Structure 1
Amino acid sequence: MNESTSTAAVIGGSVTGLAVATGLNNIEDFTQVTVYERQEYDEKRVDCGEAINDTTLIPLEKTPKNGFVNDIDGFQLHVYESTDRRLEADPLATSDLRCDPGYICERDTVERRWADRLASSSVEFRTGRSVSPAEYAEIVETYDYVIDASGQPSLTLKSKGKTEEYTGDMIALNATVEGDFSVYVNRPRIFFEGYVGYAWSFPKSEHHANVGIGWAGEQRPDDYFNALKSAAERNGFPIPEREQVNIATIPKGPSLDPGTVYFPEGNVFLVGDAAGIANRYQGEGICQGIRSADLLTGLIAGGNESAYPQELYKLMKSEYRLAHLMRGAWVEHEDPELLAAVTEALDGLTIDEITRQPAVVIRHILNRPMTAAKLISDTGMIRRLYDSYTDSWEYAVARGS
């Protein structure tokens, strides 16, 4: 490695890879940053929901031209007993969550505009084809740093025969549809319906929306598309055409132990989905991926990149802990009434609080003693509490302080 200058390859050019390229391009010592992306930015790229809860992480002006099409107030949760109900059925509970920096986006546009900005500031893009195993090996040999943002399973772990490390246990279908969303355009809806997962309708405007459904755990439909169709009928959003529907597998997080997010022998780092970063409770991965990218590039700028595995765990620990506990309200109890009570206890909180601040969530639930008592009256929930606060629920490694 040249002591005064460095080069970097970023494999994968979605939001996480673009965040890595942005951070590295801002480091004076880097003379070359190259992004390898298998698709073209003017093609349809997105195969997930298009809500971005913290758009302050993206260095673009928040305008429709840049893909930020609906500045939302927050989200409204609807909890139902089951999927066996009429459209007119009232929910067991609703809850409004705040999300001041949130937008529903045209993510294709966000990524294209972000890539254009980077290309105009000397970042090189090689797009339109996948990196082969031979090319991957050559990239590792050629560049001083290689950051893998290729998703799951990552190109790096494929090359090492470690794809079994992944635990992608969320399946999600989504599509963009036309309809009348004026009633809740400023507060998109999420529908909990008695299974481990949820459906959603995220308006981009009064007239079109990203809609979908996702599942986690063992309960899965025999026909995913028909399950999405039924969810649309129950929850009052348009049924997508089959050819419009995207399907994705989401890592449950934390899927990988620290030893598999950094490989010193090639100076290879994994970020975002490639590192198993996703919220295990609700599947969100966009902001998590960007935060992992920002963490890594900050450590590289300070010459402390070897600390990345442990610092990544510290960054995500509160989120992992809270997701493990919140998921327990579904898995351990299978009680829609209890989930409804927990949902009502969260009313008024921010998305950041319910995903990253366990103390805030626990305090709000404790303000409802009967709900709190019922929630922890199960041995499975007690085990989850113990596991969460001893950091022992996913893998057994020494993490230090």
Structure 2
Amino acid sequence: MDETQSTAAVLGGSVSGLAAATGLTRRANFSRVTVYERQEYDEKRVDCGEAINDTTLIPLAKTPENGFVNDVDGFQLRVYDGTDRPLDARPLATSNVNCEPGYICERDVIERRWAAALEARDVDFRTGRSVSPDEYAEIVESYDYVVDASGQPSLTLKAMGNTRAYTGDMVALNATVEGDFSAYRNRPRLFFEGYVGYAWAFPKSDGHANVGIGWAGDRRPDDYFGALEAAAERNSFPVPDRADVNIATIPRGPSLDPVETYYPEQNVFLVGDAAGIANRYQGEGICQGIRSAYLLADLIADGNESTYPRKLSALMRSEYRLAQLMRGAWVEHEDPKLLASVAEALDGLTIDDITRRPAAVARRVASRPRTAIDLIADAGMIRRLYGVATDSWEYTAERDARYNR
């Protein structure tokens, strides 16, 4: 197929879809790219994702006008022994991790400005209406390539009646609140309090912040809103008005078998949340979604799009392996003191280190022999180590063979 005559539809105009449109126009030189987005950009309300750890992935100047409102030095992790504690209790551990390209953002603004920049490059946007099943079929028939960035569950798997393939794992609530955040504007805080999940306060300025809480695993509160309000009181950030709180379910990462990210008969590809990718340790999915879209664009430009499932799996493998082990420190032990010791070992590393570089984390933990021994002195952690070492922790060898052919 003559690449310059190819056309592409992008289903979903959030960050992953915008990255796909960017990649297809800049890297693959498609003659026509159309983005279908169910909301209007000047009316969009983002449910989560106000912290973006690697803003170099977004092709906009890092200015407040473009939505990059707080250039942070990194994040502070605070580990407590539980939620039932005095309000003045000191944390078991405080650890600072660095993030030079990180910003706390107004994501609505970023998406609006990014879409405007693409529209100026002749990308066609069709907004304000959901794609119906019949229209989905017409799109697949009409375009040479279809990139599904519609989230979880994706339009593609809805059309196939296969939405059970996904697994949502983390439930997160968040809101923007007013208050005094000047003491930690440059180093937003995450609060680990003895459950599988965390609360956070991410200042956008000295006077307002995105705050929230998320849970993974099986133990969830009966009253999500009440739990957010209690976390705000414990951790000294303003209690948000319930009417302002957003709630979202985050994929557990990977929640979708990689073979289901590409359908060669229709030339349909899934990226971002639609592909089920997210960090199963801390729920991050923005940068992962953007990277998946850029990867796909590069492969299409090189004529290697059939390798996308395998390449996507390879791109995410180190992150998934590390997240599987880091999450084990919560799930297998349920020991806040051990988690505090691990957090202290990570002090001074970067966000990229603790999410994507297992060797960097392993060296730090190994430098504390007592912590390392306590971590692996558990049958569940040993199973996790074996699964990571053999790549058998998520998908079977038979499935692996299907997308590694």
TM-score range (shorter-chain normalised) is: over 0.9
Using the TM superposition, give the Cα deviation of residue 257 of structure 1 relative to its aligned residue in structure 2, in angstroms.
Answer: 1.3
Is this contact kept in 1: 2:4–2:31, CA < 8 A?
no
The residue aligned with 1:145 is: 145
Aligned length in residues: 401
Tell me: CA distance 1:117–1:3, structure 2 relative to 1, closer, same or farther (3 Å). closer
Q: Which amino acid aligns with 1:89?
A: A
The residue aligned with 2:126 is: 126
Q: Which amino acid aligns with 1:298?
A: D
- Whole-Å Cα distance in 1 between the matches of residues 170 and 70 of structure 2? 26
Is this contact kept in 2: 1:36–1:126, CA < 8 A?
yes
Is this contact kept in 2: 1:24–1:30, CA < 8 A?
yes
Tell me: CA distance 1:3–1:251, structure 2 relative to 1, closer, same or farther (3 Å). closer
Confirm whether residue 374 of structure 1 aligns to residue 380 of structure 2: no
The residue aligned with 1:386 is: 386
Using the TM superposition, give the Cα deviation of residue 161 of structure 1 relative to its aligned residue in structure 2, in angstroms.
Answer: 1.1
1:3-41 deviations in Å (ceiling 9; x for gaps): 651000000000000000001011464110000000000
- Whole-Å Cα distance in 2 between the matches of residues 180 and 252 of structure 1? 33
The residue aligned with 1:200 is: 200
1:129-172 deviations in Å (ceiling 9; x for gaps): 11000000000000000000000010100111111111111100
Tell me: CA distance 1:90–1:28, structure 2 relative to 1, closer, same or farther (3 Å). closer
After superposition, residues 107-118 of structure 1 pair within 5 angstroms as 107-118=107-118
After superposition, residues 71-220 of structure 1 pair within 5 angstroms as 71-220=71-220
The residue aligned with 1:280 is: 280
Please give the secondary structure, in 2, of the residue aligned with 1:239.
coil
Is this contact kept in 2: 1:49–1:211, CA < 8 A?
no
Confirm whether residue 46 of structure 1 aligns to residue 38 of structure 2: no
- Whole-Å Cα distance in 2 between the matches of residues 140 and 4 of structure 1? 19
Is this contact kept in 1: 2:175–2:246, CA < 8 A?
yes
Is this contact kept in 1: 2:27–2:298, CA < 8 A?
no
Tell me: CA distance 1:304–1:227, structure 2 relative to 1, closer, same or farther (3 Å). same
Please give the secondary structure, in 2, of the residue aligned with 1:212.
strand
Confirm whether residue 240 of structure 1 aligns to residue 243 of structure 2: no
Please give the secondary structure, in 2, of the residue aligned with 1:10.
strand
Using the TM superposition, give the Cα deviation of residue 395 of structure 1 relative to its aligned residue in structure 2, in angstroms.
Answer: 1.3
Q: Which amino acid aligns with 1:290?
A: I
Using the TM superposition, give the Cα deviation of residue 361 of structure 1 relative to its aligned residue in structure 2, in angstroms.
Answer: 0.2
Among 385, 390, 400, the residue aligned to 1:398: 400
Please give the secondary structure, in 2, of the residue aligned with 1:30.
coil
Is this contact kept in 2: 1:49–1:212, CA < 8 A?
no
Tell me: CA distance 1:294–1:286, structure 2 relative to 1, closer, same or farther (3 Å). same
The residue aligned with 1:350 is: 350
1:222-250 deviations in Å (ceiling 9; x for gaps): 01000000000000000110110000000
The residue aligned with 1:320 is: 320
Q: Which amino acid aligns with 2:327?
A: R
Q: Which amino acid aligns with 1:69?
A: V
Using the TM superposition, give the Cα deviation of residue 85 of structure 1 relative to its aligned residue in structure 2, in angstroms.
Answer: 1.4
Using the TM superposition, give the Cα deviation of residue 45 of structure 1 relative to its aligned residue in structure 2, in angstroms.
Answer: 2.0
Q: Which amino acid aligns with 1:186?
A: N
Gaps of 5+ in 1: none
Q: Which amino acid aligns with 2:309?
A: P
After superposition, residues 241-320 of structure 1 pair within 5 angstroms as 241-320=241-320
Tell me: CA distance 1:126–1:369, structure 2 relative to 1, closer, same or farther (3 Å). same
Is this contact kept in 1: 2:3–2:29, CA < 8 A?
no
Q: Which amino acid aligns with 2:182?
A: S
- Whole-Å Cα distance in 2 between the matches of residues 96 and 2 of structure 1? 51
- Whole-Å Cα distance in 2 between the matches of residues 318 and 285 of structure 1? 15
1:155-200 deviations in Å (ceiling 9; x for gaps): 1001111111111111000000000000000000000000000000
- Whole-Å Cα distance in 1 between the matches of residues 27 and 152 of structure 2? 28
Please give the secondary structure, in 1, of the residue aligned with 2:31.
strand
Is this contact kept in 2: 1:181–1:209, CA < 8 A?
yes
What's the TM-score, normalizing by structure 1?
Answer: 0.99
Please give the secondary structure, in 1, of the residue aligned with 2:281.
coil
Is this contact kept in 1: 2:253–2:279, CA < 8 A?
yes
The residue aligned with 2:337 is: 337
Gaps of 5+ in 2: none
Q: Which amino acid aligns with 2:150?
A: S
Using the TM superposition, give the Cα deviation of residue 259 of structure 1 relative to its aligned residue in structure 2, in angstroms.
Answer: 1.4
Q: Which amino acid aligns with 2:360?
A: V
- Whole-Å Cα distance in 1 between the matches of residues 95 and 368 of structure 2? 15
Please give the secondary structure, in 2, of the residue aligned with 1:398.
helix
Please give the secondary structure, in 2, of the residue aligned with 1:329.
helix
Please give the secondary structure, in 2, of the residue aligned with 1:249.
strand
Please give the secondary structure, in 1, of the residue aligned with 2:202.
strand
Runs of 4+ in structure 1 off by over 6 angstroms are none
Using the TM superposition, give the Cα deviation of residue 44 of structure 1 relative to its aligned residue in structure 2, in angstroms.
Answer: 3.4
